[in-house]
Amino acid sequence: MTGDVGSTAPASGRVRFNIGEVLDRLRPDFPGVTIPKIRFLEDKGLVKPERTPAGYRKFSVEDIDRLRYILRMQRDHYLPLRVIGEHLDAIDRGLEPPPIEPVVPTVPTVALAADGLPSAGSFSRRDSLRLSRKELLKIAEVSDDLLTQLEQFGLITPRVGTGHYDTDALVIATTARELAEFGLEPRHLRAYKTAADREVGLVEQVVAPQKRGRDTAARARAEETVSEIAALSVRLHATLVKAGLRST
């Protein structure tokens, strides 16, 4: 695979592994790791295997542990190599690395009305959150199969052109996971999507005349109207559901 010779036990008694053997030990926990990846980390100075007179790499158990640390920090905490390098330097000097904070996006705080329902302001807010599929699965704690089903039923759609997911996708995925605990599957949630599409259609009908205005003020009024009607629609929908449940 690489031309490196097999593992050896030098006179010191410390076992050394070639790069292929290192790969075999890492892949059960990190299926995506490759030999070029290990070589890249070596080029960045994050791991420094010994070299035989013939130039073959020889990794110690400590080197393998170091690689595990690097890969875990990348996979679980999304740390850049520069930061990981600082951690490793601290470890090498006998220090404890800094505590790992959750380096993950969280659902932004939305403005809520006094009754706990979203206000108009929560509909007008915008954010630039962009999540990869892997990040969305991890943060929302959903399976790939559940996310695929949500996409198939039109409940979640990645951004066109980028494939990233936004805050709405994160909230929907998280909510769908929680509903799944009560036996509600994505196919059951199509009714919510249909109802939402109908409400969107009603709102668009109301603001269509304002949207046709060319001046900035008219467009701003249209945006305000959309937010206000959306908040009122959610309030009405939630109250009707609450009233319906009380009558059963």
DSSP 73-123: HHHHH---HHHHHHHHHHHHTTPPPPP----S--PPP--B-TTSSB-HHHH
My answer on whether 31 and 135 are in the same domain is no
Q: What are the pLDDT digits (tens) for 11-67?
A: 444 789 999 999 999 999 998 899 999 999 999 999 999 998 988 999 999 999 999
Predicted TM-score of the model (pTM): 0.54
The verdict on 136 and 237 lying in the same domain is yes
pLDDT greater than 70 at residue 9: no
Query: Which two three-digit tokens encode residue 67?
Result: 């690689």
Which structural domain, as residue segments, surrounds residue 152? 120-246
Considering the domain architecture, whether residues 127 and 241 belong to the same structural domain is answered as yes
Whether pLDDT at 8 is above 70: no
| 127 assigned to some structural domain | yes
pLDDT of residue 162: 85
How many domains does the chain divide into? 2
Asked if residue 11 is part of any domain, the answer here is no
